[in-house]
Structure 1
Amino acid sequence: MAEAKQKHPRLILRNFLTLFQCEELEFIHKSNSTVGYRPNVFSTTLSHLIATNSPHLLMPFVPIRESLKEKVEEFFGCEYELFVEFTGLISWCRGASIGWHSDDNRPYLKQRAFAAVCYLNSFGKDFKGGLFHFQDGEPRTIEPLAGDVVMYTADGHNIHSVDEITGGERLTLTLWFSRDASHDEDAKLVSLLSQRLLHNNVPGPCLPLLASSNMYWFSLDQSSHRQLGFDICWARLHVLGFDVYSYQDTSCDSDLSELLTMPLQLARGVELFNVEFVNILHALQDF
């Protein structure tokens, strides 16, 4: 067992996150995520939260990142302090999967030394499929459970895959760690925050801004035209049972990207709510 651990160093932490933390991160993701790096995948990065004027939503990540970094350094016996290279909320919807790979399998990913995947919802309850498999060593297969974390080296010692999602949505908080200070995510985030503070001289409440409409546009066919898909934010409100009411003309000839920036109110059935929101992200984060 000791030899197997050396060949395939990995660790599972049970109940590392509380259910409250899982739900809080899920809310942040549902109200901010954009189209992800693979078909049927959505992501929320910390830099995206800053870019959309939502830096206050960084706070729940801080203690989790620090605690995970300590756990990784301790378990893998790191002689020097590690740097968080990337932090992101990633959800996989029906049809998403990934084959055998290591997390440093591209030239631009070679700085990644370790990974930590925090499961925010549970296999069998919140989604079907999506089991995590290691190619060698033990444990070989992991059933995601809300609050659990799996940590492993990002190199060829821990080649892994994720089964296709057949129902629901699989949500994780994923972090990669690096020994290279030039890939320190914190330095990049501080720089982004400083730039926003310098350019944002308008006092007032911190209301979320829309990013590029392409980042919120999900197409069932990644190669199709935008008209054949749907806006993520718009769709979320309808899934929650809300209709959107705007003071401006919302005829079918209107450009959807324009509608997303208009002041709006929410309605449910015949009831129109009094609160006016500056845009859809404002509504998702505030109602």
Structure 2
Amino acid sequence: MASGDHPRLLLHDFLSLDLCKELEFIHRSSGAVGYRPNVFSTTLSHLAATNCGHLVLPFVSVRERVREKVEEFFGCEFELFVEFTGLISWCKGAYIGWHSDDNRPYLQQRDFAAVCYLNNHGKDFNGGVFHFKHGEPSSVKPVAGDVLIYTADSRNIHSVDEVLDGERITLTLWFTRDSAHDEDAKLISFLSQSISRCEVEVPDPYLPLPASENMYWFSDNHLGFDVRYARMHTLGFRICSSTNEQKVQPNSLHDPCELLGKPLQLGRDDETFYKEFANSLHALQVVQFYYWKAPSLAAIRSNMRSGRPTAIKKMSGSEMVVRCSQQLMERIFGHISHDDVEHSFSWDDFAIAVEMWEEYTRSLHRCMLLLLPYWVSHHSIVLVDSSELQRCDRVPN
């Protein structure tokens, strides 16, 4: 706790490590290019827009818990609305100088901030230390599960050191007393429209639909790469055409990145996984799910083999040619920690991860269909008691 001149609070172990890992998975599988150089972001509205509104659910409890703690610490119980919720990662070269979080006319509605750290300084990244200009604590080294809350005004001017390597990931929230800037109202409307549209237009409503290509295109000094492609490529995956055996030439399409929105397969070395993915975002979510669940997959496979063998088909495939800067991809994503599980990659484990991802996603989607009517009627995204859920049996038209 800090003095009244610079009100702030650092909460240790506020988030469980399991939740940190889940939110990290969501960001690495769904994020787009961010608002600053070498920064990537995943907002709740972006999840809804890419048919991943069900991935909003893991945020619900933490938003409520953090808001309650902010209201308690600053003495404003039942006064605050969530103005913004987003996963933000800072990669090599990202930094920000001294500023307050309400330092622009369009940010004046922000009263309080909360930064929830999802991974660890010194292990998952180097650099990226948070500093306050005045008061204590003067510096904060990110530790997974810790949450830093502070006023968004000039009493808490702060900066973040340049990230030297790795990926610094946070869940960042801003709170406001102004109901006109309540994030929930806009998000509920967006979720309702997205789900209604996809139920009509999409045969598998739980599958992700990529946003426009420019949202995934990262550029620096005339070099660039597609974020979806880069996150898979730096983990050793090839992206293969599901329909052509010959390599797709760069000039065969006006924009080769359009290929990433079409059905594809994944390969490693000279092997190609048998399953077809709807698009690159679908493939990326499964890849990141595999790395999230990798520590438990071997045991699951062992239990499955005691009952039935896991049959994995492999075949040669033609690699898609997507014009991306290898050098830039390695600089930004090449030193991101995945607990070294890539050294023991197994297609058998990957096949299990595909099934687990489908069940995880379908389960969240079913829950979203139950929760949304309650959120619509209460104009707020909140936790819902199971007895209340029983009365929510359909999504409103």
Band the TM-score falls in, shorter-chain normalisation: over 0.9
Deviation (angstroms), 1:271: 2.0
Partner AA of 1:250 in structure 2: V
TM-score of the superposition, structure 1-length normalised? 0.94
Contact 2:51 2:195 in 1 (8 A): no
Partner of 2:393: none
Q: What residue is the counterpart of 2:238 in the other structure? A: 243
Superposition deviation, residue 11 in structure 1: 0.3
> Map of 1:106-117 to 2, 5 A cutoff?
106-117=104-115
Measure the CA separation in 2 of the matches of 1:79 and 1:270: 59
Q: How many residues align?
A: 280
Q: Which stretch has the larger CA shift, 195-204 or 128-137? A: 195-204
When structure 1 is superposed on structure 2, of 231-240 and 171-180 the one drifting more is 231-240
User: 1:195: Cα distance to partner?
Assistant: 1.8
Q: Residues of 2 paired with 1:86 and 1:153: CA distance?
A: 15
Higher percent of residues as helix? 2
Distance in 1 (alpha carbons) for counterparts of 2:38 and 2:202: 38
Is residue 39 from structure 1 mapped to residue 37 from structure 2 by the alignment? Answer: yes
- TM superposition outliers: structure 1 runs of 4+ over 3 Å: none
User: Which digits, 9 at most, give the CA deviation of each residue in 1:129-164, with x for residues without a partner?
Assistant: 111000001000111111100000000000000011
Report % sequence identity. 65
Give CA deviations for 1:191-248 in whole Å, capped at 9, x if unaligned.
1012223433136322111111110000123xx3xxx311010111111211111024
Question: 1:60: Cα distance to partner?
Answer: 0.4
Shift of residue 166, structure 1, vs aligned partner: 1.0
| Structure 1, unaligned runs of 5 or more | none
Q: Which of 184, 187, 203 is the aligned partner of 2:185?
A: 187
How do 1:16-55 residues align onto structure 2 when only pairs under 5 Å count? 16-55=14-53
Deviates more, 1:53-62 or 1:199-208: 199-208
Return the letter of the residue paired with 2:268: R
Q: Which has the higher strand share?
A: 1
- 2-side partners of 1:105 and 1:192: how far apart? 28
Structure 1 position 204 matched with structure 2 position 199: no
Q: State the alpha-carbon separation in 1 of the partners of residues 105 and 209 from structure 2.
A: 34
**Cα distance in 2 between the residues matched to 1:89 and 1:242:** 25
Instruction: Map residues 60-75 of structure 1 onto 2, 5 A cutoff.
Output: 60-75=58-73
1:1-287 matched pairs, under 5 angstroms: 5-200=3-198, 201-202=200-201, 204-205=203-204, 206-221=206-221, 224=222, 228-246=223-241, 247-248=243-244, 250-253=248-251, 254=253, 255-287=255-287
User: Do the aligned partners of 1:118 and 1:174 also contact (CA within 8 Å) in 2?
Assistant: yes
User: Superposition RMSD on alpha carbons, in Å?
Assistant: 1.4
Asked if the contact 1:104/1:155 (under 8 Å) is kept, the reply is yes
> Which SS does the other structure have where 1:150 is aligned?
strand
Matching residue of 2:303: none
Partners of 1:250 and 1:259 within 8 A in 2: no
Distance 1:258 1:138 in 2: 50
Q: 2:300 is matched with which residue?
A: none
Indicate conservation of the 8 Å contact 2:16/2:145, yes or no.
yes
Aligned partners of 1:265, 1:199: CA distance in 2, in Å? 27
Deviations 1:90-137 (A, max 9, x none): 000111110000000000000000000001111111111111000001
Please give the secondary structure, in 2, of the residue aligned with 1:48.
helix
Please state whether the residue corresponding to 1:192 is helix, strand or coil. Answer: helix
Any stretches of 5+ residues in structure 2 without a counterpart?
A: 288-397
- State how far apart, in whole Å, the 2-side matches of 1:197 and 1:165 are: 38
Q: Return the letter of the residue paired with 1:233.
A: R
Query: Is the CA contact (8 Å cut-off) linking 2:68 and 2:77 kept in structure 1?
Result: no
